[in-house]
Amino acid sequence: MHSIFITFSILLLTLVNSSAQSALSPNPTGTYGKYYFYWGWNRARYTTSNIRFSSGSYDFTLKNVVAKDRQTPFDFKTYFNPVTLTIPQYNLRLGYFIKDKYSISIGTDHMKYVVQANQIVKISGNIKDSGTKYDGNYTENDIAITGDFLKFEHTDGLNYANIDYRRHDQITNYKNIKLNLSEGIGLGILLPRTDATLLNKERHDAFHLSGFGVSSVVAANIEFWQVLFIQSEFKAGYINMPDIRTTSSDADKASQQFFFTQFNVLFGVHFRLIVGRPTRLNEGVNREPTKRNLL
């Protein structure tokens, strides 16, 4: 997952640097030409969803399934140790200001999605030749999601890799401390690493491109000396995953769609890769002397 983010980051840096050098050098007193990077943590909530499971021996749907996120208990060594930074639910993002008030950015929202055990849901469809007590035909029957039937989690995790377009506005500026607001929209892909066991089959344990998402975000941050900032975000979005791997068999799939919300707490930094006043490439080229210059 991190290799994907690093590849996207290198691509973004290359593109915006080449375009900036071919036009104007960034304005050191504005945001145009600045980059920003942040890291932080999220709390997520999900709507209920219908989850369809299909294979050669079964095709059934569980309706209005309840799922929650899974918070890692706070511990300084877990949340701030470079080795364990990716264990909690986290957000990271790299952005570039294409104008003074507008940025594009790429990032990853690492959420965790856990179907709650022992809940009673409705099931419709059929299961056959599973060698379990669950073989049969179902039409809106009640069923308990117990360990011998189903465990279903995106806990490593529900990875939403996305690109955002945002507007940023400064609200106040007092002695090198600024209050800023921003809002934006985004879209991306879902690369979950799903932990699922179904009817005692061996689970699948790898990242898999499963679908897409769209989202919107509003954020407020306090910025210090035009470099460091602390930011809070509220994000809401829609996720559609038609191709979730569930077991070691390629034939076993699941699909679901739902809405989510996030509340994020983030720490970030602004920086530049090019410094200097705005100058066009042809500025400073010798021109023909005028008569006045010759006098």
Q: Where are the domains of the chain?
A: 2-45+68-113+154-191+208-281
Question: What are the residues whose beta carbons fall under 8 Å from the beta carbon of 18, sequence distance 6 or more?
Answer: none
**pLDDT reported for residue 224:** 93
- Give the CATH number of domain 2-45+68-113+154-191+208-281; options: 3.40.50.2000, 2.40.160.20, 2.60.120.260, 3.40.50.300: 2.40.160.20
**pLDDT reported for residue 291:** 46
**166-180 burial: b if 16+ Cβ within 10 Å, else e:** bebeeeeeeeeebeb
- pLDDT tens, 95-131? 999 998 999 999 999 999 999 999 999 999 999 988 8
Q: What is the mean pLDDT of residues 184-188?
A: 97
- pLDDT tens, 193-225? 998 888 878 777 788 999 999 999 999 999 999
**pLDDT reported for residue 84:** 80
**pLDDT reported for residue 156:** 86
Angstrom distances, CA of residue 186 to CA of 15, 219, 289: 19, 14, 52
**pLDDT reported for residue 63:** 97
Nearest residue to 115 (alpha-carbon basis) of 142, 151, 78, 148: 151
Q: Examine the pLDDT at 3 and tell me if it is beyond 60.
A: no
